[in-house]
Structure formats: C-alpha cells, structure tokens
A and B are shown apart, each in its own frame.
Chain A
Amino acid sequence: MSTRSIVPFGPQHPVLPEPIHLDLVLEDEKVVEAIPSIGFVHRGLEILVQKREFTEYAYVAERICGICSYMHGMSYCDAVEHIMNVEIPDRAKYLRTIWSEMSRIHSHLLWLGLVADAFGFESLFMQSWRMREKILDMFEASTGGRVIFSVNQVGGVLKDMDSAMLNHFVAELGDVEKDLKVLSKTFLDDAAVNNRLRNVGFLTKQQAHDLSIVGPFMRASGIKRDIRQLGYNAYKDLEFEPITSEIGDSYARCDVRIREIFQSIDLIRQAVGKIPSGDIAAPIKGMPEGEHFTRVEQPRGEAIYYVKADGTKFIDRFRVRTPTFANIPGMLETLKGCQFADVPILVLTIDPCISCTER
C-alpha cells in the first residue's frame, strides 16, 4: 500500500469563485476520500426575516445568491402568497416563468464558461460569457437590474413586459440559440474537451437515487425528474419533458445542461405565445399566518423553501434547502477514485453555489 497524504483544496482556489474547502486524501495521484467543510460565507440571511417586514424581505431573499437571485425572491413571495391565500394573476405567473427560464439560461451559460475555464479552454469560456451578456442585457431592459432584479412582490410582479419587448427577447434568444448550436459542437464533439470530460466522475442511477441528488446532476445519471412538472407558475400550460442522459459522467452533465438551455429557449417561446393580458399583481390584505413549503426547480436543481408566519408583520421562520447542499454528498462520491488533476472539474460539474448553501 502506498502512503497516504492529505492535500487541502480551497477555500481559495482558481477554479472556484466561491469558498468550499475539501481535504483530499490521496494515495499517489488517486483520491481515496474527500472531506468537505463549508461555512466561510455565512451571512445570517435567514434570521433577518424576523427583523424585516415580510413585504421587504423579498428584497433580502433575492440576495441569498447572485445567480439564481430571481428564483429565491420568487419562491419566497410564492410561499407567503400561499399562506395568505392570494391567487396571483395569470399574467404575473407567465412573467415569472419567463424570467425564471431566462435565469436558467444565464446560469447554465455561466456554468459552461466556468467549466471551459476549468479545463483550460479560455476562448470557449469567453464565447460562453459573450452569449450570457445578451441575457443580462435583456434582464436590465426588462427589470432594471443585471443580477438582482427586484421585480417580485408578495402578490405578483412589479414590472410588466409589453409585446414589443417580449418579441424582441424571442428574436434575441433565437440568435443565442444559433450561437449556442455552433458552440455546443465544440463542447460535445471536440477531442480536447472530450478527453477532459468523458469517463470521469461517474455517478450511477442507483447512487443518485440513494444520495438524493437533485437537478441536472441527477438527470445526467438517468433519473427523469423535474420539479417544474408539478406545474407551479405557468409550467402547467407549457409542454416539456425532463432532459436526461443515461451515461452519468461529467460529459453527460455538460450535455444535459446544454440541452436544457435549448429547452428553456423553447419554453420562453411557448410562454410568449400564450401569455394572457391583465393585471400583474393582486392586492394583499392583512398579515400572513400559517406555514408553507414551496418547491421550485432552480438552475442547479430542486430548492425547498419553508415559511412560517405568526400573524405579525415579521415572519417567524424562513428556511431554504438549496440544491448545492443536496448535491455535496454526490460530489464526494464522484471524487472517490478519481485522479487528483480531475478534482477541479468534478467539483465544478455539480455547479456548486456555496453562497446559496450558507446563506
């Protein structure tokens, strides 16, 4: 038996913009075990719910994460609306769906760039982020913010998009789709990329099931499950099938995410075609009292929100189970037996968002 050594990985690492620390137990170049530790960016956003009025907390909830910021704010508002028995107008539901899917596109494009950066393909990284810039510009034109949108309120949304704007967005997304088709050839077909992604970091269907993995990580292992199928917001009116892959390695995760971008563009097209006219917000009365669980499909997977209100203007408890938290056990499983040089890529393939996880 060769000697074992422990190599620290993170919390500051070139491949990760966010702090996660792993103690890698190595036997020569082979990883035997990985021991994670998190807790470097805890900001106490959950307890803040007791100090801000429930209508104002929507702005705080958005700041849990910089990438899926929209979904956090939306899900918090959704949970409070359920507690207060407010039915939001159909147009608001469609607008929320469109913004959610745009968030998914921008998050996946960001991930594609980061993974290209991790295996050393700088120009591919630049190309992915060039496309993402278009989505960010669309966000700024429709909401006024590029990263934090602040368009959700309890009862609906704050800003409307007229048909000219929506059609412009669909045309822009058509361009993104064309560009991505060209770029996906490099991601999925190129020999250099394939050498880094194929046959590393396998996670079988059974393992994914046992470890309760969520999101594209789970779907890449062959489990066909997507929380959007529950039909929250406008998803019940839109046609889509969860995207899966049977392979279960890093390449499959890349493949699933690329196909999910195309699916999101298609969902936005459907939503723009079906969007009804009408109000964008319903009035709210009184204070919330009760509790509710909301489940949404974030770009990284299923997130669960729990809100408990006690009839005052401050909410009693707010809890978020983020997708990265659920995916960390799976990540550790994929790390076992891999080469030391593959660790950065494998950590990235779960699309970790540590700021979400620690709140």
Chain B
Amino acid sequence: MGVMNFTGTVLKNLFSKPATRLYPFEPREYTERTRGRVEIDIDSCIFCGMCQRKCPTGAITVNKNDKTWKIERFNCVQCACCVKNCPKKCLFMAKEYTEPGADKLEDTFQKILTPEELAKEEAEKAAMQEKIKAAMAAKAAAAAAEKKDE
C-alpha cells in the first residue's frame, strides 16, 4: 500500500494547460456528424408529411394546404429519423444546438410560391377537379344505365 501516489498527477496538472476550455471566449467546435437540430430546405419540400408520421416524439407538424412545416424545437430529440425518411432529402441536421430558453420554441417555415408555380398549382387543381367531375359523371351514367336495365 503506497502513499503519495497521486503526487505525480498533481504536479503534472500544475504545469500543463487546463483540460477545460474558457467557454464563452473559446466556443466548442462541433464535429462533422454532430446532430444539433433539424433544418429544412423548404423550397424542395413537397409536404408529403412523412417526417410528421415517423417522428417518435411528434414534434413536427406539416400542413399541406398552408404550405407550412412546423417544428417544436424542445420536443425534438435529434434522432434524425425524419432526415432518414424524407423522400426528397430536404431535411438535414445542422451542427449547432437550439439555444435553451424559458418558453416553448416553435419554428415555422412557409413555402412561398412564385407566380409560375402558383399558376401551375392552380392548373393542376383545376385539372384534378375536372377529372373528379368526369369520374362522377361517368359513375352516375353507369348507375343510371344499371337502373334502366332493371
């Protein structure tokens, strides 16, 4: 059983630089893979809602009509499950963490459509309405024909 075993370590620590950083003046560098927080490239999002369905904590809300993508920052657990499952790969993990706060923090991203995109979407909507109308008319005609046969 020895005594003064720790003296070597103590002396070494006295004459070497500290193991800790002088934090606010010397911020920590994040690694390449650090999962800090979820970010979105809203322009390539198609609002499919896959991230909302896959999120284990239910932090993400996707609204297709308003073209908004919303995340509750402090509900998110940075598992990157949404990033893995995004079909358009428009979600990614930023290295910086969300700053702590006293209130619940929600970040909402909205896709602003250009006039051409808006026109295209209107056209698509109209085409879909036409299609639905045509399908319903066909169905009604078929039903009428069936009734006639009886």
Contact = CB atoms under 8 A, between A and B. Distances in A.
Interface of A: 52-53, 56-57, 59-60, 63, 123-124, 127, 130, 133, 137, 140-145, 148, 150, 153, 158-159, 182-183, 185-186, 189-191, 194
B33 interface: yes
Given A59-B79, A145-B35, A186-B6, 16 more contacts: A52-B56, A56-B56, A59-B56, A123-B9, A123-B10, A127-B9, A137-B31, A140-B31, A144-B33, A144-B34, A144-B35, A144-B93, A145-B78, A185-B2, A190-B2, A194-B1
B101 to A, nearest CB: 21
A140 B33 contact: yes
B38 to A, nearest CB: 12
Contact of A190 (B5, B32, B56): B5
B35 A150 contact: yes
Contacts of B2: 185, 189-191
Contacts of A150: 35, 78-81
Contacts of A186: 5-6, 9
Interface string B78-121: 11110010000000010000000000000000000000000000
16 contacts: A56-B56, A130-B19, A141-B31, A143-B33, A144-B31, A148-B77, A150-B78, A150-B80, A153-B84, A158-B84, A185-B2, A189-B2, A189-B5, A190-B2, A191-B1, A191-B3
Nearest to A142: B33
A182 B12 CA distance: 12
Interface in B47-97: 54, 56, 77-81, 84, 93
B24 to A, nearest CB: 19
Interface in B114-136: none
A159 B33 contact: yes
Considering the complex of A and B, which 10 residue pairs feature the smallest CB-CB distances, nearest first?
A144-B33, A144-B35, A59-B79, A141-B31, A190-B5, A186-B5, A150-B79, A189-B2, A130-B19, A56-B56
Contacts of A57: 56
Contact of A133 (B8, B19, B79): B19
A196 B19 CA distance: 28
Nearest to A126: B19
A150 B56 CA distance: 12
B9 A182 contact: yes
A133 to B, nearest CB: 7
A60 B79 CA distance: 10
Interface residues of B, number: 24
A58 to B, nearest CB: 9
A199 to B, nearest CB: 13
Contacts of A130: 19
Interface of B: 1-3, 5-6, 8-10, 19, 30-35, 54, 56, 77-81, 84, 93
A158 B33 CA distance: 12
Contacts of B31: 137, 140-141, 144
Given A141-B33, A143-B33, A144-B33, A56 B81 contact: yes
SS of B interface (majority): loop
Nearest to B32: A141
Nearest to B33: A144
Nearest to B80: A150
A189 B3 CA distance: 8
Contacts of B5: 185-186, 189-190
Contacts of A60: 56
Nearest to A62: B79
A63 B77 CA distance: 10
Contacts of A148: 77-79
Nearest to B18: A130
A226 B122 CA distance: 66
A63 B78 CA distance: 12
Contacts of A194: 1
Nearest to A190: B5
A54 to B, nearest CB: 12
Contacts of A144: 31, 33-35, 80, 93
A130 B78 CA distance: 26
A25 to B, nearest CB: 33
Nearest to B54: A56
A190 B93 contact: no
Contacts of B84: 153, 158
Contacts of A190: 1-3, 5-6
